[in-house]
Amino acid sequence: MRAAHIFGVRDVRVQDDPIPDLAAGEVLIQVKSVGVCGSDLHWFEEAGIGDAVLETSLVPGHEFAGVVASGDLQGKRVALDPSIPCGRCEFCREGNPNFCQQGRFAGFGPTHGAMREYVAWPRDNLYVLPESMTFADGAMLEPLGTAMHAIDLAHLRIGSDVGVFGCGPIGLLAVQLLRSMGAVRIFATDKLPHRLEAARAWGATEVFLADGGKEADQILAATAGRGLDAALEISNRGAAVEAAIHAAKPGAAVVIVGIPDDDRTSFRASTARRKGLTLRMSRRMKHTYPRSISLVVNERVDVRSVVTHSFPLEDAAQAFTVAARRDGLKVVIEP
């Protein structure tokens, strides 16, 4: 089978790999669509992510959907949860599998991801797609779940004023979710005008170009100095964290989703302390696939329009280059 490997900084090669063997509880999946995520771009642009570094070649890709090619579900169209928790540790037993330290994750560390023609994946991680959903829709359930988990952490109430700092695909999905759940005003910021246009189209009431923190002052002015009930930082820039904290009202929650390039997040401590802010770090997602599917099927969230580029597997290097330029919105690869 064909598979795309990252060998180093901006070094993507498509090569022949053996079809994976099945372990106990696994089924074979023919991959049909896989998204290029911001975390994949860390591997592409830095040969690492956070404190993890590329030690050998890695098949990236954790946003994926396909067709079951073995077992009793053969022929079913499915989306796949990329996280494989151990199911036995303290965190798994507490219902927090996203904190599992013994688990595996597609396209991270020693676990190859989905940018290949076939993957072997646990049957328990499969979610059957309704007929109305495409494979690309199924791949988008993972970023949708990430946005959903971040909003869950904010503990929002209906009628809130919320800021989304960073309008890549996850940020844009967060805007849609906030609109659906009854946020009154949704403030969106980004460095790219075309992303702000998309945010406004999907429900942001006011958009501001990210500009060294000036956007936070604009949000404070728009709220008559009150500030935001919650702020979601979904970029990979420290300036966005500073802006989110500056724009939040006293007592608000600031949820940090973005993964910084240099593995450092910093902000003015006095501002956060004097406001008594609650800072929450969002790690991946948990228990979101059934809710995500329901939202898409019932047309409460539009994931399809977020996908703006599609490439065959053989053009994986070009797909990563386009994604790294931040052209359009979401890039998907279709093996």
Quote the CA–CA distance of 82 and 252 in Å, as a whole number.
Answer: 31
Give residue 71's identity as a one-letter amino acid code: G
Which residue type, as a one-letter code, is found at position 102?
Q
CA dist 84 and 67 (Å) reads 19
What Cα–Cα distance (Å) separates residue 110 from each residue in 181, 219, 236? 38, 43, 24
Packed helices 169-181 and 141-154: angle between N→C axes, nearest 10 degrees: 60
Question: How many CB atoms are closer than 10 A to CB 162?
Answer: 27
Distance CA 128, CA 142 (A): 14
H/E segment holding residue 225:
none
CB neighbour class for 147 (10 Å; exposed up to 12, middle 13-18, buried from 19): buried
- Calpha distance 173→186 (Å, rounded): 12
Q: Which secondary-structure segment (H or E) carries 116?
A: none
* Residue 249 DSSP SS3: strand
pLDDT band at 260 (very low <50, low <70, confident <90, very high): confident
What's the pLDDT score for residue 262? 84
pLDDT digits (tens, 9 = 90+) for 131-181: 999 999 999 999 999 999 999 999 999 999 999 999 999 999 999 999 999
Torsion angles phi and psi, residue 22, rounded to 5: -95, 130
Pairing mode of beta strands 307-312, 330-334:
parallel
* 269: three-class secondary structure by DSSP: helix
What pLDDT was estimated at residue 238?
Answer: 82
Instruction: Give residue 266's pLDDT.
Output: 87
How many other C-beta atoms can be found within 10 angstroms of the C-beta atom of residue 21?
Answer: 8
Full set of structural domains in the chain with CATH: 2-140+303-334 (3.90.180.10), 147-281 (3.40.50.720)
pLDDT class of 304 with cuts at 50, 70, 90: very high
Tell me the CA distances in angstroms from 64 to 37, 83, 225, 300, one per residue in order. Answer: 11, 12, 43, 21
8-65 pLDDT, tens digit per residue, is 999 999 999 999 999 999 999 999 999 999 999 999 999 999 889 998 999 999 999 9
